[in-house]
Amino acid sequence: MEQQTEDYSPLWRTPEPEPEPAQYETPSPIREDKGLFKRIGGGIVALGVLLAKIGAKLKFLLVVLPKAKLLTTAGTMLVSLAAYALLFGWQFGAGVVLLILIHELGHGIQIKREGMKAGWPVFIPFLGASISMKEMPKDAAMEARVGLAGPILGSLGTLVPLALYGATHNNLFRALAFFGFFINLFNLVPVSPLDGGRAMAALSPHMWLVGLALIIGAAVLFPSPIVLLILVFGGYETWKRFRNRNSPEAQAYHNVGKGTRFAVATVYLSLALLLAVGIHFTHFARTLN
């Protein structure tokens, strides 16, 4: 008979000790500081790179900005050329733009000679062009010299198509010579903002009233948008300057010596007479093909 072996092991067992939880080391404060400094340093580096890029772009703009002004002049010249070419052909349009440019360069050269800063010419189709002064003239004599410089150089430039017409008898050059004489004489009308108005600043403010009367007559006899614009702006400028003519500032500004007045009047009248003669001999009733 098989014997059974009794198990006398106790009914309870001594519980085995539970494994202690793994000990995790707390990061030391030194490592936290190093990580913080690393992040701050990275931000500083990124900021420095960004500032360097911005500085490079600003430097690029400083280099390109003067060229952009030149591009503005060239762009407005092309627009004016296209406008004139649509009506008169590209050859006449190119000649007109060049004659206007020479006129404006006369102003720019004299502005520089007077010790002032001049802007770049800006062309406006069918209105000509303008060149800005960065500061006001010190007196009326300086303003008159700047005003007369444009028609003087413009008239000299008109002698080029006149000579080409004499050599070739091509009516294209005759038409350009007529345009050059006409536009420079028109600018001598003694009313602001035309060159004649600037020249009359050295003579007498009352001459502006004569110029205003001439512009009104031209608007009645030969109505056109250009004449009307000159009448509006010229009338306002004449009224404003004539109203303030007796102020101490205006009297000091118009205090010009007799010799200067005589020189301005002589140049003005002689130039106007020569331009009128040029218009007479170059005018012809024929349209360009």
Beta strands in the chain (DSSP E): 122-124, 128-130
3-class state of residue 213 by DSSP: helix
Model confidence at 288, pLDDT cuts 50, 70, 90, reads very low
Residue 22 falls inside a structural domain: no
Residue 43 falls inside a structural domain: no
For 23-64, write each residue's pLDDT tens digit: 545 444 444 444 544 554 555 555 555 545 544 444 444 444
Q: List, as one string, the DSSP characters of 101-151.
A: HHHHHHHHHHHHHTT--B---EEETTTEEE--BSS--SSHHHHHHHHHHHH
Residue 9 falls inside a structural domain: no
Which residue has better confidence, 69 or 1? Answer: 69
pTM here? 0.70
Residue 38 falls inside a structural domain: no
Model confidence at 9, pLDDT cuts 50, 70, 90, reads very low
Q: What is the mean pLDDT of the chain?
A: 78
Residue 8 falls inside a structural domain: no
Residue 14 falls inside a structural domain: no
Give residue 233's domain range.
61-282
Contact 167, 174 (CB under 8 A): no
What's the structural domain count of the chain? 1
Reading the block at residue 136, the tokens are: 């006001």
Residue 3 falls inside a structural domain: no
Residue 243 falls inside a structural domain: yes
Reading the block at residue 21, the tokens are: 């939880």
Res. 182: pLDDT tops 90 = yes
Residue where the block lists tokens 């000579």: 163
Q: Which conformational region is residue 126 in: left (phi greater than 0), alpha (psi within -120 to 50 degrees), or beta?
A: left
For 61-112, write each residue's pLDDT tens digit: 444 444 556 677 778 888 888 888 888 889 999 999 999 999 999 999 999 9
Q: How far apart are CA 210 and CA 35, in angstroms?
A: 84
Which residue has better confidence, 179 or 225? Answer: 179
